[in-house]
Amino acid sequence: MPQPREATVPPIHGHCDARFAAVRDAFEANFGERDELGAAVTVLVDGQPVADLWGGWADGARSRPWEQDTLVNVWSTSKGPTALCAHVLADRGLLDLDAPVATYWPEFAAAGKEAVLVRHLLSHRAGLAGLREPHTLAELYDWELTCARLAATEPWWEPGTRSGYHAITYGFLVGEVVRRVSGLLPGEFLRREVTGPLGIDFSVGLPEKEAVRAAELVVPKADRARQAALFARMEPVAVASLLNPPTGAAAANTAEWRAAEIPAANGHGTARAVAALYGVLAGRGSLGGRRVLSEAAAERVREGQGSCRDLVLGAGFAQETEIALGVWLSGPNGSYGPNPRAFGHDGAGGSCGLADPEAGIALGYVMNRMGPLIADDPRKTALIDAVYASL
C-alpha cells in the first residue's frame, strides 16, 4: 500500500516568497510523486532570489543530507556557461562569430571543414556531433588528443544546414576556440571572468578539495533499462554523439571525471550558481549590478539559427526545436515556459538552467537522481510551470 505523501517528502529547507508558494509545492511534489532523491531549486526575479530551496539526500544510501552548498554534476546545463565564455570574447572584439573556425584553430580546416563558422559550433550545426572512431573515457580526459581528433575528422552532415546535438564534443569545439583566442581553457576563463568576480559557486570539473560537497549521481535500474531501449533505436550519428565514449553516473562519480576538463558535461554547481549564470542572460548581460556582457551581446545569445528536427535528438521531441548560439529556445514546445523567446539548457537526467529576459526570470534546478530523459524531465517542467503560474 503506497505511503501517504507526507511520509515520502523529506524536510525542505531554504526560503520561498509567499507569491511563489507554488514553486515550493512543486518541489515537494517532486519528492512525493516523481521519485526525487536530492535536489535544489533557485528562482531569481530581476536578480533577486524569490525561491531558494533544497532537500533530500546527497547519496543513494540516504546517509548524507542535501545541504545548501551541495554541488552536483549538471551535465549539459554546463553548455550555457561554456557558450558564455565565447560570447564574452566576441563582445570584446576578440572573436568573430561569423569567422571560419580555422581562423583561430588552423588545424580544424582538415577534412572539408574550412568553411565551418564559429556560430556553427555554438549552435550544434558543425556536423561534429561525435567522433567516428572509438574514443575511450581515458582519451576523453586528454584535451589535446580529443581536440586533435575533432580537428582531423570529417563532418557527419553539411555544416550549417541543420542541428545535430553535440553532446560531448560541444565543449571541446567551443572550448578550444576559447583557448586559442584567450590562452585559457574554458573552465579557467569562466572562473577568471565570470564566476570568480561574481562569487558564483560553479566550476568546470571539480577541484579535489571540494569533493566532500559533491552529490552522488544515481540512476535507478528501471531508468537504466528505459535508456538502454532508447539507445538501441538510435541512428549512427546519435550513437557517436551520446555513446562515444559511453558516459553516465558511474563515470561522473569518479575522481578522474571530476579532474578532467569536459565543458559540455562536467560543470559542477549549486542551484543558486546555475540560476546566477543564467541570470546574467536574464538580466540582459548583468547580475547584481555587475556587467558581464553588453545588452547587444546578451541578446545575441538567443539568436535563433533555424528550427528543425535535430539529427541526434529528433526522435525524442514531438516537434521541431531551435538552438540559438549556445542555448535552446523555448519555442512552440514551451520547454522553458510560455515565452517562446525564453531559453535555457537541460542536463541529461533532469537539471536545468533557464533565462527569460522579458519576465526577468532565471531558474536553476539541480538533482542527483537521474531520469532517463535528455531534456524536459517532468520534475523540471513542474517547477517551471509553477514559476509562471506565480507571476
Q: Which of the residues 63, 76, 294, 390 is marked catalytic?
A: 76
Please state the domain count of the chain. Answer: 2
Residue 359 lies in a domain: yes
| Residue 174 domain flag | yes
Q: Specify if 321 maps to a domain.
A: yes
Q: What is the pLDDT of residue 308?
A: 93
76 belongs to the catalytic site: yes
Instruction: Going residue by residue through the chain, which has 391 residues, state the pLDDT in tens, using 9 for 90 and above.
Output: 344 444 489 999 999 999 999 999 999 999 999 999 999 999 999 999 999 999 999 999 999 999 999 999 999 999 999 999 999 999 999 999 999 999 999 999 999 999 999 999 999 999 999 999 999 999 999 999 999 999 999 999 999 999 999 999 999 999 999 999 999 999 999 999 999 999 999 999 999 999 999 999 999 877 767 766 666 667 899 999 999 999 999 999 999 999 999 999 999 999 999 999 999 999 999 999 999 999 999 999 999 999 999 999 875 555 789 999 999 999 999 999 999 999 999 999 999 999 999 999 999 999 999 998 889 999 999 999 999 999 9
User: What gap in Å lies between CA 49 and CA 387, rounded to an integer?
Assistant: 12
Choose among 102, 94, 103, 155: nearest CA to 130.
155
CATH number at residue 30: 3.40.710.10
Q: Report how far residue 248's alpha carbon sits from residue 73's, in angstroms, rounded to the nearest whole number.
A: 11
Q: Is 229 left (phi over 0), alpha (psi -120 to 50) or beta?
A: alpha
- pLDDT recorded at residue 7: 46
Which of 187, 220, 240 is the last residue before a domain boundary? 187
> Do 127 and 259 belong together in one domain?
no
Q: Does 125 lie in the same domain as 52?
A: no
**CB 29 within 8 Å of CB 382:** yes
- Does 28 lie in the same domain as 143? no
Q: Which domain holds residue 172?
A: 83-187
Q: 195 lies in a domain?
A: no
Residue 196 lies in a domain: no
Rounded to two decimals, the pTM is 0.95
Residue 381 lies in a domain: yes
Please say which residue of 134, 162, 187 terminates a domain: 187
- For residue 316, what pLDDT is reported? 55
- Nearest Cα residue to 22 out of 41, 9, 3: 41
